[in-house]
């Protein structure tokens, strides 16, 4: 079953996992040390992130390391950039309105 990438990143634990493996590739055991949860729970999160192609696995000896799939993150950023421009424009407009209100009160 293919999952939606935005559903995957909606979970705070999965976002934290992404943050950790963005710095360096990690094993499920190493990741589990950062959370108050079981290794199995972390593995479930990793499976979801893998299905969404946000992380990829790399076998090194007996260990499986998970690393961030940077290209997929760039796709998300590209999609969000359209909205970022809209938000920035609206915030700039709000700043102008607030400044005008502040100046008229003086």
Residues 80-90: tens digit of each pLDDT: 888 988 999 99
Q: Indicate the domain borders of the chain.
A: 1-68, 70-106
Give the residue ranges of DSSP H helices in 11-65: 12-23, 28-32, 39-51
Instruction: Say how far apart CA 42 and CA 35 lie, in whole Å.
Output: 8
CATH 1.10.10.10 for domain 1-68:
yes
User: What pLDDT shows up at residue 2?
Assistant: 62
Residues 53-73: tens digit of each pLDDT: 999 999 999 999 999 998 888
The pTM (predicted TM-score) of the whole model is: 0.75
């Amino acid at each position: 079953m293919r999952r939606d990438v935005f559903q995957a990143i909606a979970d705070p634990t999965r976002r934290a996992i992404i943050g950790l493996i963005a710095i360096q590739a990690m094993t499920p055991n190493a990741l589990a040390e950062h959370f108050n949860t079981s290794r199995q729970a972390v593995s479930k999160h990793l499976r979801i992130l893998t299905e969404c192609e946000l992380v990829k696995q790399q076998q090194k000896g007996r260990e499986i390391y998970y690393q961030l799939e940077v290209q997929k993150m760039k796709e998300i950023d590209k999609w969000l950039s359209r909205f970022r421009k809209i938000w920035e424009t609206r915030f700039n407009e709000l700043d102008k309105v607030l400044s005008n209100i502040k100046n008229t009160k003086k």
